[in-house]
Structure 1
Amino acid sequence: MSKWMISSGRAACAPETKNKGNTMKRLQRVLTGMLCAAQLCGCASAPVQPSGPGQTTQTLRFIVSEDLGADMLAAADAFADRVARVSGGGLTIDVRTGRAEFGALSRGDAELMLLRNTQLARANSMFSMFTLPFLYDDNRHMSLALNAQDVRAQVNEALAGQGVSVLTAIYTGGLFFVSDASELRTPDDFRDLPIAMRTDSSDKLTLLGALGARVVPYSKDAIPAAFDTQAQYLPSDGQTPQTVAIGTAEVDASQLKQIDADPNTLYLIKSYHTCTPVWLAANTAAVESLGSYEQAVLSEACAGLLAELEERFITTEQAAIDASEREGMLLVEPERAQIAAALYDGTAERAVVLPSYFDRRLYDLIESYATLS
């Protein structure tokens, strides 16, 4: 962290696949272009602005919750350093740890915050769209779609009355299936299949049930131990509970090594069926008050923050997947578009009542970026 932040920032607020190189570079170039286009500044990269006598310094307060982890905090520091360097000191970012809350950002208690998708969903239910199951092919699809100008324009239009804008959506990890029973390639493969799933989203559980799966809810940490055990399945139609064998489980990459079964008997389905973004959000009035050059600096720094964080998360995730494959798990690429069509276009095993926040236009926009990922 640069010294100007140590003195005025964090201490004052103390209360509170690695993708292959060419793919990652391509993603960064694409996202840099989209981020620049989305701002008022135009698309040219901001040249380094020399500092000089009488130069006015503008400072934006940037709150990062400690529970987001050290990687997020380190990336925020790098983001601040880049802004200060490129602007020649004309724009600085005061990084602080504390409680990042939507209401505080809306009030102007800070100008920038990293917010979880669940926090934004509480402020506007539209954000619940972004964690619906089988919405993305993979991490690249999520990042390309949610950082696209047309998607972000629709998002910020929905937030306009609350004084908050989103600048960047950051991929922080996905969920996969491990199974000794099925490859889970198509919608039909879910029929009558017992699956241990997290209780993080009732809508997700309902939609998987619509595919015909026998969903058994567990807490996140209990899922690995549930694999290859007996459990009670409670049918949603009120029929008699059934005892089922759990041979399929929903896990994140860090939990793959916790599955106590012979890896040579397991499929690792790279479903990315839930991807969870963290958003860099801003107080709209504060960002709009910046000059065009400062907006260009901020936009360029956003692209750098996005690329750095996503490379960290994707590298860690891919390393876990590669290790599981070396141990003997068979990797499966599901037909994600078929599964999504079953859920969102009405061809699922059971009738699907989509959540009230489901937005067909937004769904179609996100789907349009699948071909680019």
Structure 2
Amino acid sequence: MEALFMKKFGVLAATAVATAALFATAPASADVMNLAFNQPEDHPEYRSIAQFSDKLKEATGGEWSIEIFPNELLGSQKETIEMVQNGALPFSLVAGSLLENWNPDFAVFNLPYVFKDYKHLQRVVKDKTVVGDLFKSLENQGITVLCAMYSGTRNVYTKNKEVRTPADLSGLKIRVMQSDTMVKMLNYMGGTGTPMGQGEVYTAIQTGVLDGAENNEVTYYALKQHEVGPIYNLTGHLMMPDYIVTNTAYFNSLPDNVKQFFADNIDALVDTEFEMFQQEVSKSL
């Protein structure tokens, strides 16, 4: 039975990879560009990109648009970065900490208590004198960072225990994203940082593999993790951007009018997403 399951799983995995490859290897004359996303359709990042896609479609006379694949349909964030890098996927929206695996300099945006509020972060990530070289630093590895987006203020949430001091985290296994900086951060906060893909977190808390996790207010609510980790502790330890990444060669092959649309409208996308996200924070809390 196990062998049969593994065989079927292998076929499904191969099909998924082939399908993803088909998405990205289409020539640049194709009209639909695919973007991987790990959150649901009502998330402000999804909605802001969908709005951007509508404007792109209008500006190009219906020839170009972006199709968003939510809920990790194309794989975990780390997997989709690799797919972007090898040309199997045009775009992905990924957590900032994951890009440390390609360039450790991205860690400067992922350190606790760097930004005083979301407006501070918004100004910095649109300032090309600050982020220009960093966003281009992965192009020799096949990845271009198009922009940074707001992903809320991250807080620790737990299954059974309130967290008011670092001592309260002692002995607790808390999920963090798959980055050394995030693991070390949680360890220094007093707990045990446990890296894990987002798709596994709900079940891991539910079954006791984890004692909790840390995430922003909107994601916590959107993924219904309050059902298994109902104690949301306002630690406010991190305000870390997400990034839209693209395959460098693919993006450079796009028609000039499409590239110009991105150049002219990417800051407006950032502003729209920041405001949408902030509106969702109080609702989620």
Q: TM-score under structure 1 normalisation?
A: 0.48
Deviation at 1:281, TM superposition (A): 1.0
User: How is 1:208-227 mapped onto 2 (pairs within 5 angstroms)?
Assistant: 208=189, 215-217=190-192
* 2:31 pairs with one of 49, 52, 59: 59
* 1:68 pairs with one of 18, 39, 52: 39
Q: Which residue of 2 aligns with 1:240?
A: none
Question: For each residue in 1:294-342, what CA deviation from the matched residue of structure 2 results, as whole angstroms up to 9, or x when unmatched?
Answer: 3221234433432333333211213455xxxxxxxxxxxxxxxxxxxxx
- Aligned equivalents of 1:251, 1:110: Cα separation in 2: 26
Are residues 199 and 127 of structure 1, via their aligned partners in 2, closer, same or farther at CA, if it must alter by over 3 Å? Answer: same
Letter in 2 for 1:63: L
Q: Which residue of 2 aligns with 1:203?
A: 184
Contact 2:50/2:68, CA 8 A, preserved across alignment: no
Contact 2:56/2:65, CA 8 A, preserved across alignment: yes
Q: Which residue of 2 aligns with 1:308?
A: 272
Contact 2:183/2:193, CA 8 A, preserved across alignment: no
Aligned partner of residue 194 in structure 1, secondary structure:
helix
- Aligned equivalents of 1:131, 1:116: Cα separation in 2: 10
Letter in 2 for 1:216: G
- Give the number of equivalent residue pairs: 223
Are residues 96 and 176 of structure 1, via their aligned partners in 2, closer, same or farther at CA, if it must alter by over 3 Å? Answer: closer
Deviation at 1:176, TM superposition (A): 4.2
- Aligned equivalents of 1:273, 1:181: Cα separation in 2: 13
- Aligned equivalents of 1:143, 1:297: Cα separation in 2: 21
Q: Which residue of 1 aligns with 2:110?
A: 131
- Aligned equivalents of 2:168, 2:257: Cα separation in 1: 52
Are residues 153 and 82 of structure 1, via their aligned partners in 2, closer, same or farther at CA, if it must alter by over 3 Å? Answer: same
- Aligned equivalents of 1:218, 1:108: Cα separation in 2: 32
Q: Which residue of 2 aligns with 1:93?
A: 65
Q: Which residue of 2 aligns with 1:115?
A: 94
Are residues 283 and 206 of structure 1, via their aligned partners in 2, closer, same or farther at CA, if it must alter by over 3 Å? Answer: same
- Aligned equivalents of 2:96, 2:82: Cα separation in 1: 14
Q: Which residues of structure 2 form unaligned runs of 5+?
A: 1-15, 21-27, 177-181, 195-200, 206-212
What is the percentage of aligned positions where both structures have the same residue?
19
Contact 1:80/1:94, CA 8 A, preserved across alignment: yes
Q: TM-score under structure 2 normalisation?
A: 0.61
